[in-house]
């Protein structure tokens, strides 16, 4: 118990804890995760990402997005210069900060279930179709 208290105090003093998230001006240094996810959701709808990737990110005309194991830098590079039929989204369309919010939203989506756990597909697989 004492070690946890000491570790927490050191974290706060070194600027790692919650106190470090608010600079002297009182404004948060970064948007809270929930806010980034919400802003990303709004961008996902505004730019019609759902039209190809589905509302849940499970794909369709576009690639499946969940789970998306990619860094923010790689995500930004891909969205700026995609392969295939996806249109590029330059920094004149979406800023790097907006792409970070979009990625936060995509990463918040639940992963696609395995095919054998989708009722219709599992019945088809069992029937040998």
Q: How far apart are CA 34 and CA 18, in angstroms?
A: 16
Q: How far apart are CA 95 and CA 93, in angstroms?
A: 7
Domain of residue 46: give its range: 32-112
Residuewise pLDDT in 10s, the chain (129 residues): 333 333 333 332 333 333 333 344 444 445 458 999 999 999 999 999 999 999 999 888 999 999 888 999 999 999 999 998 999 999 999 999 999 999 999 999 998 777 777 777 556 667 776
Q: Residue 118 falls within a domain, yes or no?
A: no
Tokens of 30: 């970064």
pTM of the model: 0.65
Q: How many domains does the chain have?
A: 1
Q: How many CB atoms lie within 10 A of CB 62?
A: 17
Q: Residue 23 falls within a domain, yes or no?
A: no
């Amino acid at each position: 118990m004492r070690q946890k208290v000491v570790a927490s105090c050191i974290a706060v003093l070194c600027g790692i804890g919650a106190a470090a998230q608010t600079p002297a001006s009182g404004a948060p240094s970064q948007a809270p995760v929930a806010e980034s996810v919400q802003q990303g959701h709004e961008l996902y709808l505004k730019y019609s990402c759902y039209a190809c990737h589905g509302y849940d990110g499970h794909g369709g005309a576009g690639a499946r997005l969940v789970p998306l194991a990619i860094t923010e830098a790689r995500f930004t590079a891909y969205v700026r210069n995609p392969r295939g039929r996806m249109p590029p989204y330059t920094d004149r369309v979406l800023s790097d900060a907006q792409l970070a919010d979009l990625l936060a939203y995509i990463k918040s989506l639940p992963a696609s279930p395995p095919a054998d756990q989708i009722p219709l597909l599992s019945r088809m697989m069992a029937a040998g179709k």
